[in-house]
């Protein structure tokens, strides 16, 4: 596993733990993270990156593409 994959795995783990804590604090049971909870957090993060102008998003035939933007806006 390369360094980027390790960082992503750790970020996902921390996000799952945060979802569990949020549910426990709110008294929601069971307090486990659902797949949809994690995907929602990811979607929120992508929307934030898009709003900040840090990524570009567009349609493909079957899905969407996501690319990073460089400082000058070209990729």
Residue 67 pLDDT > 90: yes
pLDDT recorded at residue 14: 97
Reported as a pLDDT band with limits 50, 70 and 90, residue 74 is low
Summarize pLDDT for 8-30 with one digit per residue, the tens. 999 999 999 999 999 999 999 99
Instruction: Decide if pLDDT at 5 tops 70.
Output: yes
pTM: 0.80
Per-residue CA distances from 39 to 16, 34, 35, 36, 72 (Å): 11, 9, 6, 5, 30
């Amino acid at each position: 596993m390369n360094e980027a994959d390790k960082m992503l795995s750790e970020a996902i783990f921390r996000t799952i733990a945060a979802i569990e804590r949020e549910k426990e604090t709110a008294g929601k049971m069971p307090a486990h993270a659902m797949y949809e909870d994690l995907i929602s957090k990811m979607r929120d993060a992508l929307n934030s990156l898009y709003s900040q102008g840090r990524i570009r998003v567009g349609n493909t035939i079957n899905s969407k593409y996501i690319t990073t933007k460089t400082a000058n806006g070209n990729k």
